[in-house]
Amino acid sequence: GPDFGYVTREPLFEAITSLDSFGNLEVSPPVTVAGKEYPLGRILIGSSFPTSAGRRMTRVVRDFLCAQQVQTPVELYSDWLSVGHVDEFVTFVPTSDAKRFRMLMASPAACYKLFREKQKEGQGEATMFKGKGTAGSFGRALTKRVTINKVLSNDILVRQNQYVQCCIDWNRDILKKELGLTEEDIVDLPALFKLDKQGKAVPYFPNMVTMIVLARDLGIPKPFGPVVGGECCLERRTRSLLEPLGLRCRFLEDVASYHGRLGEVRCGTNVQRRPFALKWWHVTP
């Protein structure tokens, strides 16, 4: 349409993978890192672990992004995920304080902490996935009643999420260094994953980090977490973390439309942004 343009970069010989999809291309808010300003933020892309021979975004696209210079890319480790996109473990939301934003990260550790709190409160039999029947897009997870107690006693799931947390923490350290962030700039949202037959991670319940950000309104995948006192405790915890920042949380059911296909709300939506007042073509790298 009018006032929109695009470019294409197509590999001649490399195979295209899921990492070439643009859930694996994000950009941070404006940051200053060790005195260097990035007024248009920095590009974030997911890749294989530096010492491994896993999946990477095709070279022709990586070279194109690196050539932009003013948004110098940060390459993260996302090949541990089945889909392999950076937006499965990190996103950014606006705030009105001096920092102007927070970085949100998926956190199995935060989820296990919350579930243990609820178990100690006597809520261990609180049920997940209520209202989703006994089959469908959650697959085998719904063939039996899933409770906080069962999740916490599932040693395989615990070990898998310890591994996932290590992968996320590796990226956390990179992002703190490359975006000039501190722990106070990061909000951990509860998340759980499980490993597929290839040893890659997929969300155990809809992944709230893979939300759509509409200014201060957040379209968040409805997690269908344990219901405590008539309310999903995952939704309650997320509201308690984000609403004090001036954000409004809207939990959207995306199980049949996206989650069942290894996606979430963000994967099938987009936002038309207002252009920068800054003349970006005048920015000096």
Reading the chain (285 residues) residue by residue, the pLDDT tens digits are 677 778 888 877 777 788 888 788 999 999 999 999 999 999 999 988 776 678 888 888 899 999 988 899 999 999 999 998 999 999 999 998 989 999 999 999 999 999 999 999 999 999 998 766 433 345 544 557 899 999 999 999 999 999 999 999 999 999 999 999 999 999 999 999 999 999 999 999 999 999 999 999 999 999 999 999 999 999 999 999 999 999 999 999 866 665 655 566 666 677 777 777 888 778 877
- Per the annotation, the verdict on 267 as an active-site residue is yes
Catalytic residue among 167, 232, 233, 267: 267
Supply the pLDDT for residue 262: 59
Question: pTM of whole model > 0.95?
Answer: no
The set of long-range contacts for 168-175, using a CB threshold of 8 Å and a minimum separation of 24, is 168/89, 168/105, 168/106, 168/107, 168/108, 170/77, 171/76, 171/77, 171/78, 171/89, 171/90, 171/105, 172/105, 174/74, 174/76, 174/77, 175/44, 175/74, 175/76, 175/90, 175/103
Residue among 261, 244, 240, 264 nearest 252 (CA): 264
Supply the pLDDT for residue 108: 98
